[in-house]
Amino acid sequence: MKKKETYNIAIIGATGVVGREMIEILEERQFPVNELRLLASEKSVGQKISFKGKSLTVGLAEEKSFEGMDMVMGDTPTEVSKMFAPMVKKAGAVFIDCSSAFRADPKIPLVVPEVNGEAALAHDGIVAGPNCSAIPVAVAAKPIHKKYGIKRMVVSTYQSASGAGKGGMDELAAQTVALLNSKEIPLKVFAHRLAFNVIPQIDAFLPNGDTKEEDKIMKELRKLLNAPELALACTAVRVPVMCGHSATVNIELEKKASAQEISLLLEKAPGIVIRDDMAKKQYPMPMDIAGTDEVYVGRIREDHSIPNGINLWVCADNLRKGASLNAIQIAEYLIKNPS
């Protein structure tokens, strides 16, 4: 991407929860925007969204929408991203996609700037953003893998209702109200009641017993860490939290490291905040990290059941670092490293 003073940016799915976060973050970070073009499906056309004190009108996402744009960001269903990607490339813009459409494609870079930002520079018009749970785990795992080597990793994710979009958040709220008032429990987004419950299934089951979500997280972590043979296991669970994804990460290292050494290493790593004080009962929790940009790590301790074991608790805002912020950080990396 050529160096410019300001850039023309389009957001597909601008009225969704991730799209709205993108708009807010562009303003918060003072991204050098010349024109911001907000796009969505027909049902959202005409809506007004504020940006830098101005009211912008949401337009229809179609081929001509991308003309004159430098970058297009989106969080849309997979089939929608695949439909629009060729149009974005034809218009000469870079497509930074938060969907799962291109993550597994070996020709398309999958990028978390703190982990493998340089990979974005090898794009051919498309850069993929990873799964909202894979991102914080990769941010925490990368410095550990680089220094000590990771032999095996077991990840259990505790994913909030917002991971299922606005519909998931609305359903959790409606279920909670209904349950407390002895009303009928609405079920549309989730297969079971989420309020006061946990659901050990996110997405459909595969023949091997994993869910598609678990499979995506494992494959994306291998790609992000550039460790295609890394032994990984994952269980993804939906929890009755409105926003913020958490994960337990159990790591078997190639080389021995103490909990203190891991803590000091992560404390110096980009994008990480350590919140780990047993005496004060301090550790990352979704209710505290919602609306923040960093990956929070706590409960750092040795796993004494194996020779070189480490346990971590990881927490991040899935709408920000897990999606919208990561996309904008990719855009920032591209403009700081012009071709």
pLDDT tens for residues 205-253? 999 999 999 999 999 999 999 999 999 999 999 999 999 999 999 999 9
> How far is 200 from 239, CA to CA, in rounded Å?
9
What is residue 168's predicted lDDT score, i.e. its pLDDT?
Answer: 97
Q: Which of 233, 263, 272 is nearest to 249 (CA)?
A: 233
What is residue 295's predicted lDDT score, i.e. its pLDDT?
Answer: 98
Q: Which of 5, 6, 39 is nearest to 22 (CA)?
A: 39
Options 3.40.50.720, 3.40.50.150, 3.30.70.360, 3.40.50.2000; CATH of 7-130+323-336? 3.40.50.720
**Residues in Cβ contact with 129 at an 8 Å cutoff, skipping those fewer than 6 apart:** 96, 97, 98, 110, 111, 112, 135, 323, 326, 327, 330
Token pair listed for 9: 């940016």
pTM of the full structure = 0.96
User: Residue type at 325?
Assistant: L
- Tokens 């990480």 correspond to 272
What is residue 2's predicted lDDT score, i.e. its pLDDT?
Answer: 83
What is residue 19's predicted lDDT score, i.e. its pLDDT?
Answer: 95
Q: What angle do CA 40, 46, 49 make, to 5 degrees?
A: 80
**Which segments of the chain have a pLDDT < 70?**
none
Residue ranges matching CATH 3.30.360.10 in the chain: 134-160+198-318
Q: Which of 98, 234, 248 is nearest to 163 (CA)?
A: 98
Q: What are 50-61's pLDDT values in tens digits? A: 999 999 999 999
Token pair listed for 24: 């807010």
What is residue 130's predicted lDDT score, i.e. its pLDDT?
Answer: 98
Largest separation between any pair of C-alpha atoms in the chain: 61
Three-state SS at 256: coil
Please give the positions annotated as active site: 132, 245
> How far is 182 from 125, CA to CA, in rounded Å?
52
- Tokens 């009211």 correspond to 55
CATH T-level fold of 134-160+198-318: Dihydrodipicolinate Reductase; domain 2 (3.30.360)
Measure Cα distances from 46 to 55, 64, 68 in Å. Answer: 11, 17, 21
> How far is 198 from 240, CA to CA, in rounded Å?
7
Residue ranges matching CATH 3.40.50.720 in the chain: 7-130+323-336
Q: What angle do CA 42, 6, 316 make, to 5 degrees?
A: 65
